[in-house]
Amino acid sequence: MEQRHLGRTGLRVSRIGLGTLTWGRDTDEHDAAEQLKVFWEAGGTLVDTADVYGDGKAEHVLGRLLDRVVPRRDLVVSTKAGSVPDPDRRFDGSRGHLLAALDSSLARLGTDYVDLWHLHAFDPHTPLEETLQALDLAVASGRARYAGVSNFCGWQFAKAATWQLAAPGIRTRIASTQMEYSLLQRGVEREVLPAALDLGVGLLPSSPLGRGVLTGKYRRSTPADSRGGSDHMALFVAPYLDDTANGIVDAVQTAADGLATTPLQVALAWVRDRPGVVAPIVGARTVQQLTAALSVEALSLPDEICRALDDVSAPVHRYPDHDWSTL
């Protein structure tokens, strides 16, 4: 698998990442081991998790597989901190919480360091400089090699990145931003992606298959064994089961038919090769689903297919993104 630099850093990662959202819940340790081995054998290196996935079970499962299934040194392990199970405060970006969460992640993962540590979301109740100082402390102590942010909107991301550049004594720079990005969700193109390109920060798209909808499995009904058919994931999939999404999925299916490939491969290749994208994070419940996603390595979409998909999925971005005098 092709390797790409993460933004303007020396860190190289596989251009497809392996997500672990379902590990320890819908994906047991045996199936997770199969996924990790198949991913590694295909040349994959970037494995993404978070301290809240499966209430910590995903990190625990991954930790049990490191070295036993795949050498730790061959992987780029990424995790996140900041989300908390508190309905009154969903995110905690305080220095105390973040550093304690990182220590807990390292214990579950059974490793002395993570290669990439993300803030899971922006915390409006904590001064941003305190949050970013936690990133600097984590990197300075060797517990994290690189740091990034996740689910930061444009102004939050730009403020964080520029504060790090300007603040005296701060050495850690944001290397990556993890955001949802697919043919069904192109909101990052409004501000986050231009900022990332300007600042040299790598984009790691989550849900690159539109939460599974772009595979075409929901075109006629909701399969009982799918995320959309499960009690705990149905609300996650539901926003992409409307008429607008159906039109985009139909276009992806048409492109796949014309290329003699699958909708999954078309949708994944489209986002993988967008400007600024380093590695889409693919979450699979089974090794068969993962194998299907990894097969995209050999596919590059023709320019005319890309333009057609761009047109059919184009978000409405007007003022102030375009010259106001022409509106």
Catalytic residue set: 53
CA dist 63 and 53 (Å) reads 13
Tokens of 270: 């489209």
Tokens of 267: 């949708």
Cβ partners under 8 Å of residue 133, min gap 6? 95, 170
CA dist 51 and 81 (Å) reads 6
CA dist 36 and 18 (Å) reads 8
CA dist 68 and 83 (Å) reads 29
Cβ partners under 8 Å of residue 86, min gap 6? 92
